[in-house]
Structure 1
Amino acid sequence: MNDNNHQDKNTQNQNAINKKRIIIIAVSVAAVLLVGTIGTIIVKGVVSSSKSQELVADQERANTLSLIERYIQKGEYDRAMDLLDKLLIENANDTEALALSDKVLELKKEKSNDDESRTISVDTDGLENAVNKMAQENAKSQAALAEALKLQEEKAATEKQKKAEQAAEEARRKALAEKTAAEQKAREEELAKKSQALKKQIELVKDEIATGKAQLLSGQFDSALDHFKSAEKALPQEEKDFSGSKLAEISGLLFESSESQEDLETKVKLENPAVYYAEKALDYKENQAIPHYVLGKKANIDKDYSKAVDEFTEAVSNDSQNYLYYYELGKVQYRLKKYSSAKTSFASSTKIDSSFENAWFNLGLTYNKLGNTDGAITSFRKAIQANSLYAKAYKELGKALQKKGDFPGAINAYKSELELDMTDLTALQNIGIIYTYQGNYDQAEIYYKKALAYAPDDIVTNYNLSTALYGNNKIDEAIKYAKFAAEGNPNNATYLYNYGLLKDLSGDWETAISSYTACLRIDPNHVKANNNLGKLYLDNDMDDNAFKYLKKAVSLDPESFEAINNLASVYQKQEKYEDAVNYFLKALKLKSTDNTVRMNLCKVYAAMKEYDKAKSLYLEILQSNPSKSEAYFELAKVFLALQDNENAEKYLIALQEKDPEYEKDQVKALLSKISSN
């Protein structure tokens, strides 16, 4: 650091010397000029005094050389050089002046080397250690401060980013429109610069389009079309970009207006020129989004879905930041069952505009088609987040949650949908279905009846209500709604079976048989209808018919406990005891503790005179169900068959104590017979 300061001072001194030399030289030159002027005046004034002038000049030169020597001795080399320069200017061949000049230059060089060789030696070890220590401590403090500042900056940045994202979202739609307008304006401004005539032509086109647009909005469609036609005629043919973009604008305005028209004739009246201008726009300028979008919409209306996909794809290709283009493309892809492609398009739409609820909703429907229930749930929730009044989104969310088994979530979603549309039949029905599945028949009944209040003739709701009432054992009331469903759709096997079942339970066997038979005409393989019809024939001693339907039921479902047990009962009535035992044992494999089957098997064993098997099984039954009166009575008869009167009497007396009215006369007769022996 000291060396640098020293060098800086030398540099400053040298600069000062150089500056001084410049000043001296400048003064000397001025003096020379002045002297030369004076000399000229003298020469012109007194010609005869030239000799005395030479003496004076010699004296001045001698004095100057003496002064130069003195400056050299004192080391004032610059001042010496100034005087030498003066002499050499007057006489460049002055050998003495030249010799002194070389001497002065040599001396100046030696002095400069001496100055550079001087150094200042300072012991800086201690100073460096102190500085290093201070630097380390300062670094630690700076690191801590930097970390704190970093955290603070990150937090601020996060908050700033969040606010920025919100602001950006709010500004997105506006920005999209502004961007298009700005680009259009920029093109128009560029064109306007070309010539005043062209500018007037451009303004005319714009005015005609603006007037046409105003006429469209006011419903003056013929006038609007006339102005658009005038705009087309006024287009500067050489300006392809401008002309193409203006035709595209007209096309978009016409098609947008056509979509809001309910009258078909008016709709077509606007659609057709919209298509014309779209095609014309592409003739001028191919790479435009709006014309392809219009042509895609028209192709979709005409059900030319392949063309619609192509046109919307072109629209997206030319403007990848328009969420509507992706949305319309996704809808057509969904219609064509190209669900993976539709998913990509809808997702792109939501990425551009995360507040576009329709894209989220359709993305959810697409996820359903792809079997991705979680994706559907997320998408429907995003749609609701974008629009809390989106009733259809609540309903579809409810369906997805119901499918996933989240019944509380599904019910909440359906109820939210009903707050927006209390008449929605699907939501009311599905809440009823969930409550029915959960065994909450009271709540199920409430929601089915609410649905019927809005749609009393809805067959599905009438059927569902009958099942809820059946669950609540309200058979007579259930029959009313089951009949409505069965008669309302006589080709539905489920409705016919349900009506037959309720009539069966009410004791109206004739109607039950008729309904079961009608069900089997539609669906001969309906297991429950075959079983129930066979059971009815069995109970009415129509064993052949019973065997036919019960055999069919078992063949259709070898694991049907009811059908197997009923078929065994047919064999039992027909005294085909081996077959009966076989099927009763099959039934017990399905429900090993069912006492009805075990009682039937005991009776078959007794009929086959296999009394020990019957006795063992009756004892098992009484051990699990000590209050079963029939088991006491039948076991007593088995003991009598085994000639074990003591145990027979024991169980008959026990039966009298537990259930005095059960087969009272027969019990009394058996006890009398035992006593007489």
Structure 2
Amino acid sequence: MNQNLRRGALLAGIVLIAFLSCGFTWGGKDKCTEARETIEKITPESAAAERAEAERKVRELCPDGGAPLYLKGISMEAAHDIDGAVTAYRDALAKDPLLLQARGRLGLLLLAKGNREEASVALFEAARQTKEPRFARALADIFLDAKLYALALSQYRQVQPSFPDDANLYLGIARSYRGLGDQNHALEALQDALRLQAGNATTHLELATLYQERNDYEKAAAHLRQAIIADPDNASYHFRLAQLLELSGKRDEAAKEYARSGVKRTDTLADHLKRAAKYEDEGEFALAATEYRAMLVKNPDAAGVREKLGDAELSAGHDAEAIAAYEDALRKKEDSGRVRYHLGTLYERKGDLDEAVRNFSASLRLDPVNSDARRRLADIYALRGDLEEAIRAYQDLISRQADNPLNYLKLARLQEKRRTYKDAVDSYEKALALDSANSEAHRSIAFLFLRLKQPEQAEQHLREVLKLDPRNAQARDALISLSVKQKKYDQVTSLLEEDAQLNPQSADSQYRLGVIYAFKREDEKALQQFDAALKLKPDHARALNALGKLYLKEGERDKAREAFEAARKADPNLLEPVELWSKLSTQPKKYVEKKKTSRKHALEKNKKKSSSTAGSRKTKKSAGKAESKKKKSSQRKTR
């Protein structure tokens, strides 16, 4: 008897873990696939009514999947909440990695935010597995920016039929050809772009550059003048034209263009420096860059001006121009740790990690105390999966800057990846010693202790996480699972009650609290929680199923049958996770009566059989007695 009780308690504990720790995703695969197909054509440009209809269908098909989160991202993107949309798309992909539209849209937003490296990964996957041309087009732009001209040209050509009237696409094609050294095809693509948009200043500038490279200064100047017509107040256009005219020997015309660009030929280098400093103080970095360029026109050997030009372009947000200025400084032997650091930052932003590593390493050789360069280098090693190099870089950083908890936290994660768990624990503890309120450090070390099967230490840190961040669902679920395994059911109840209070609009949170109440046989409370879950989500299949079991337990068979029917309708594929309630029957009364009748007939049949057997035994006994008397009589006669 005790053994059976222990076995029942173990089974109940397993069930509880299954209910409380799982993601509630049993079955529903086909419906989630259908939901995925429903959202494929929904974009931020879709009509509000169309998005609303898609949301309705998705809620019916796969409410707990990634599709609803994708639609949330679409709505946020339509409302220009880019950060919110990025988070929603990430959450959608965490739920359903097959949501390629979410992956593509995430890539587009990351690209717009300047995160080219992560954007390229997302867009590559989306472009490879979907027929959406926008993803391939964006990927082409990334390839072009990274100077991967052949790859860029391949992507542009692939999507060209989808964008027949896009002048910028032809600009991309032209730049790809130029990068490959094919000026003739580049010229053809630029002429196509010009036919589509005759007043495009950028196209005219590209044509001017191309003709200038061919020493055709007349055509180059003509296109620069067209660019000025498109944007007459752009000082840099006038400045470029002035330089070109000066090369052509037209000094008078050049002087006029220099004046229009704000550059006076009679000004001294000191005048330019003074104006540049003034513009920088006012935040007019593009104008400051113009002054530095003017200085280089007058005195190409002016020392330190190229670095200042790079700084101004960097501050103005002109990354390509900044790289060109810094690289020009290196060619002029004006090397420094600062120039190398800025080049490393710019190349990292572009996604060219090899060049970033080269320049950050050079920066550290020239300036060993540059902790920012060392940290950026360590981050790149970690990103590339070079754990040994990354760990060495962080250890070196810590040896120079031992009071930064973030360095210890990053080192601990790398050590954990390398499976040197003792070192990782030590680094996590040092991070917490410097910043005891770091919830992320508490969470990370807690999960490491769980892996090392040290539940007491893990519980301590998980509780700290919830003190600092009560809404941390990952930490709460881990603590619930741990408490179930330790049979601390009152603790489980407390955690789930807090979860239900923090998430009053979550049907799952209300349902999970109902599960623990039902497990503890607090049926009235369980009933209230299941009702609360169903008010929030009337087709919550598991809540309906649990409600039916409660009704069945209370003997309300009709209500139980209705609940079970509703649960089957809400999710036809719902399976019982374990046979907790297998001995409970939902058989109709007629079936039960039929079964009782069959049992009655069987009893009567057995009774008749018993009577027949008894009569047979009696007959045999009488026959035996008669035979015995006959033998005795025969013996007497013989005597």
TM-score by length of 2: 0.40
Q: TM-score, normalised by structure 1?
A: 0.38
Q: Choose between structure 1 and 2: higher helix proportion.
A: 1
Question: Could you say which structure has the larger radius of gyration?
Answer: 1
The one of the two structures with greater contact order (alpha-carbon pairs below 8 A, sep at least 6) is 2
